[in-house]
Chain A
């Protein structure tokens, strides 16, 4: 089933969070707006399975033209799966940031930071104000 961006939560730092699964495992990626701003991703670094994250922890990096940008976790939990195919297929992120573009899956451990996330409408407003 295709992931609907309107049902996701978003961090100020442009990561998206999908909490819709029943098993307590959330998927995390980066938004279409972020991918456009980053402009031509060349590398991505993924965490190891088993890494425990607090809300806001760096969980990976991407290198785009002339800058390395950390990825910040929008949720607290343990990494249970990483999208190992993604770093070799970054060109597909542009086409499909929400389905193919999942980066990690995290077993959620709590609500830490949930109040700092935005729904789709609020995130779109942040993006439009950023220009």
Chain B
């Protein structure tokens, strides 16, 4: 990684940004310490907005200040509460109220963030091969590129992970046809999920901006007491290093896969202000969390 520079991350004219796409592969690397749930989601949204306004792409790694259940945008808060109450009823945990709940702006299933590493990548459509500026919907290229890179990285640590489409597709699909999707993301299967020894260890979701995409995901390191049926890569035999070395290796693999040159960076004042506002007005607000 290149050391931080003084480049301002204030918004850039989108037309200039489009030209910049053609001549620059620079991207920011932000590493956040443990942060509360609403602020984590708010920072991701602020970075998406920043990129949408023309800033360089941003790869971020982060953790959570405590065990957190992040819901997909369209999931039911009642299902979340039932899931946590179920853990307490079964005597799996003493107090499910120590788990924070936050609603993501991306879709998919619920993720229990505990012994894991979360990443996000925000980049303009112009950085995605074959994607027009105003293209809608998911970017399969982004899912594939990120997940392939992480699979390669995990291979360095004796963890053999493959995309679901390349592994047990026919056997598992037959059992899930027409079934209601599982509440937990890691009990669902989609083509680009990373699978080790039959277990999903990496799942991601996307949210579109006007001319950009945010993808974020969770790499399970060890099983959580709040999701004991979901082992992580370490439980499955991987020799996973400490957090900083893992982040360094992942960043290197991702920079090669995505064709970006990462520069150590921090959130700008504008992004921090926007994230604080979003944390209060949206992701930490009960009418957002309880919206369905």
Which residue of B136, B140, B190, B209 is within 8 Å of A14 (Cβ)?
B136
Contacts of A64 in B (CB 8 A): 136-138
Tell me whether B108 is interfacial, beta carbon within 8 Å.
yes
Tell me whether B132 is interfacial, beta carbon within 8 Å.
yes
Contact A43 B74 (CB under 8 A): yes
Which residue of A13, A61, A67 is within 8 Å of B210 (Cβ)?
A13
Contacts of A42 in B (CB 8 A): 74
Tell me whether B226 is interfacial, beta carbon within 8 Å.
no
Contacts of A63 in B (CB 8 A): 73-74, 107
Contact B132 A131 (CB under 8 A): yes
Contact B136 A68 (CB under 8 A): no
Which residue of B74, B107, B291 is within 8 Å of A66 (Cβ)?
B107
Q: How many residues of A contact B (CB 8 A)?
A: 24
Tell me whether A115 is interfacial, beta carbon within 8 Å.
no
Tell me whether B106 is interfacial, beta carbon within 8 Å.
yes
Contact A69 B137 (CB under 8 A): yes
Contact A126 B134 (CB under 8 A): yes
Which residue of A34, A43, A66, A126 is within 8 Å of B136 (Cβ)?
A34
Decide if the interface of chain B is mainly helix, strand, loop or mixed. loop
- Complex Cα–Cα for A126 and B136 (A): 13
Which of A37, A67, A68, A69 has the largest number of chain B CB atoms within 10 A? A67
Could you give, for residues 119-131 of chain A, a 1 whenever the CB lies within 8 Å of some chain B CB and a 0 otherwise?
0000000100111
Contact A37 B107 (CB under 8 A): no
- Complex Cα–Cα for A46 and B213 (A): 22
Contact A129 B105 (CB under 8 A): no
Tell me whether A39 is interfacial, beta carbon within 8 Å.
yes
Give B292's nearest chain A residue, CB to CB.
A45
Which 6 A-B pairs give the minimum distances between C-beta atoms? A130-B132, A67-B138, A66-B138, A67-B206, A43-B74, A63-B107
Enumerate chain A interface residues (CB-CB to B < 8 A).
12-14, 34, 37-39, 42-43, 45, 61, 63-70, 72, 126, 129-131
Having A64-B136, A67-B207, one finds 5 other A-B pairs with CB under 8 Å, namely A14-B134, A37-B136, A42-B74, A63-B73, A67-B205
| Sampled A-B contacts (11; CB under 8 Å) | A14-B136, A39-B138, A43-B107, A65-B137, A65-B138, A66-B190, A67-B107, A69-B137, A72-B210, A130-B134, A131-B130
